[in-house]
Structure formats: structure tokens, C-alpha cells
Amino acid sequence: MFTSNPFAELSASISPALMQTYVVIMILLVAGGTLLDMWHKKSATYFFNNWRKAKSKGTKPVGAGQMTAIAVQTAVVDVATSAEFCNQRRRIAHLLTMYGFLAYVVTTAIMVFWYPTPAVPTPVILPTLWVIGALMACVGGYWFWFFIRVDVAAEGNPTLRIVRADLFILALLASVTLGLIWALLQAAGSSWTTVFLGLYLIATTVLFGSIPWSKFSHMFFKPAAAFQKRVANADGSRGNLPAPSDKPATLGDPRRQPSHY
């Protein structure tokens, strides 16, 4: 399982062209769903209007060199290391899920398009990374779902209450979990392989086909929002935040920064 390409083995019963077509359809669903989400929620319009408004309030010019530095800082701090999470456990769980999912998706595409049959030997590193990526996504995702997510019980709701916002993480967990089970059963020659392949395809289709209703598209919006915030801080506009007061904050003052213990 760790060293064999499960999609190449699947080519004995399903045409590689059909598998490749399915992957292309999933990519189109992500692109189309993201655009539909942006149109429906007016995300792009709000983003650019807010940027234009903030830029008009800027007090300091931001040159091309500084803009490039801000973009690099956003990519390294806000995207690559998810520094916006103050809770260390939440941050680690997010990073495990994010990098695991990326490894899982990228290696899937490579194995399906470049090594679709046993006739073309698959480098061992690819199925190994596929399994490791899926396991990382499972560890991060299940850790978040069962131990870190908002304590809905404190609000009088059932602990395992499911709302629309949970669609992305649940579909992701279902996809990677069922994918691992399918690959394991296929390697073992189990009669349950076809059943779990069907479940795996259903979960994956829900994951990539539910973009307008899930939080999947947030991964595209968050870097842009983080970049805008850094630019606003650099040019002095500070986005929607009021300018800091020179008056010392006192107890009970609404401007007083909260304490974290």
C-alpha cells in the first residue's frame, strides 16, 4: 500500500482516461464553485471596494519593493505557517490538515495523469507521500473535529451538532479516510474494494462539488485578506480600524487591550 500506486492497479478495471476525466471534472468543480461563491456572496466586489476605500485613507506610500516584501511575508507567515491562529493546538491541527491534503491531492493528480497503469512504473515516493498526506489530513482533521472545534455543548447544543459550515471538513475527512481504506482493501484483494471505491468517489465528489455551500473557497480568500491587512498597516490606513489613541488606557476603557492568560 505504501509503495504501490492504487490508481495504476485500478486501471485493470477502470480506464485511465475515465479516471483522468474525473479528476478534470473535480478541478472544474473547484474553479466553477469558487467563482459562483464569489459572485453569490459578492466577495471579490467587497474585497476590492474595501481595498480602494482603505487605500484612499493611506498616509504613507508603499513602493513596489515593500509591496513585494509584504507579499512574501504574507505567503510565509499567514499562508505557510498559519500564524493567524493564536491557539497552538488549533494551528498545528490546521497545518497537518492543510499540508496533508495538499500532498494527497497533488500526488493523486500526478499518479493518475503520469503513471496511470502498471506499464509505467510509479516512483515509490509518490504512493508513500499519498498515504502520508492522507494520514496527516486525518490526524489534523479528526483532532480538530473531536477535540478543538467550538464547544457547542456550552451553547446548549449537542456536542456533535453538524451545521453547513462543517461540510468541508467532514467531506475532506470522509474522502481521505475512505481513500485509505479503499487502497488498503485493494492491496489485500478484498471483495469490499468496489464498495469502498464507490464510497470514496461519492465523498470526493461531495468535497469538490460543494464549494458554494462549504468553506473550501476560504483558502483562496484568506491569503488575499491577509495581504490587504498588511498593506493597510504599511500605508497607515489600518483598514477599518480606528487610529490608536495617545491617551493611556484605563480599566473599563473600551480601547483597553484584552488580557490573555
pLDDT at 156 over 50: yes
Cα 252 to Cα 261: distance, rounded to the nearest angstrom: 18
- Confirm whether 240 is domain-assigned: no
- Tally of domains within the chain: 1
Residue 259 domain flag: no
pLDDT digits (tens, 9 = 90+) for 16-66: 999 999 999 999 999 888 887 777 666 656 566 666 666 666 667 777 788
Q: Report the pLDDT value the prediction gives residue 177, as an integer from 0 to 100.
A: 98
220 is in which domain, residue-wise?
6-53+64-151+159-231
Angle in degrees, CA 165, 169, 170, rounded to 5: 95
Within 10 angstroms of residue 186's Cβ, the number of other Cβ atoms is 20
pLDDT of 112-129, one tens digit each? 999 999 999 999 999 999
Answer whether residue 244 is part of any domain.
no
What's the CA gap between 194 and 97, in Å, rounded? 27
108 domain-assigned: yes
DSSP code string of 14-40: S-HHHHHHHHHHHHHHHHHHHHHHHHH
- Is 123 a member of any domain? yes
CB hemisphere CA count around 91 (13 angstroms): 12
Is the separation of the CB atoms in 11 and 19 below 8 Å? yes
Instruction: Indicate the pLDDT class of residue 159, thresholds 50, 70 and 90.
Output: low
Residue 242 within any structural domain of the chain: no
- Domain annotation covers residue 253: no
Cβ 6 vs Cβ 183: under 8 Å: yes
**Gap between the Cα atoms of 1 and 216, Å rounded:** 29
**Lookup: cell for 153:** 455543548
> DSSP label at 162?
-
Helix (H), strand (E) at residue 207:
helix 193-209
**CB contact set of 52 (below 8 Å; sequence gap of 6+):** none
**Are 205 and 23 spatial neighbours (Cβ–Cβ below 8 Å)?**
no
What is the spatial distance between Cα 117 and Cα 195, in angstroms, rounded to a whole number? 22
- Please state, in angstroms and rounded to a whole number, the distance separating the CA atoms of residues 50 and 199: 43
Residue 95 has a pLDDT of 93
Asked if residue 115 lies in contact with residue 5, where contact means CB atoms within 8 angstroms, the answer is yes
Structure pTM? 0.77
- Between CA 11 and CA 18 the distance in angstroms is 9
In whole angstroms, what is the distance from residue 139 CA to residue 64 CA?
41
**For residue range 203-261, what is the model confidence (pLDDT) as tens digits?**
999 999 998 777 666 666 667 677 777 777 776 766 444 544 545 444 444 444 444 33
Q: Are 107 and 130 in contact (CB under 8 A)?
A: yes
pLDDT digits (tens, 9 = 90+) for 179-192: 999 999 999 999 99
Q: Is residue 256 part of a domain?
A: no
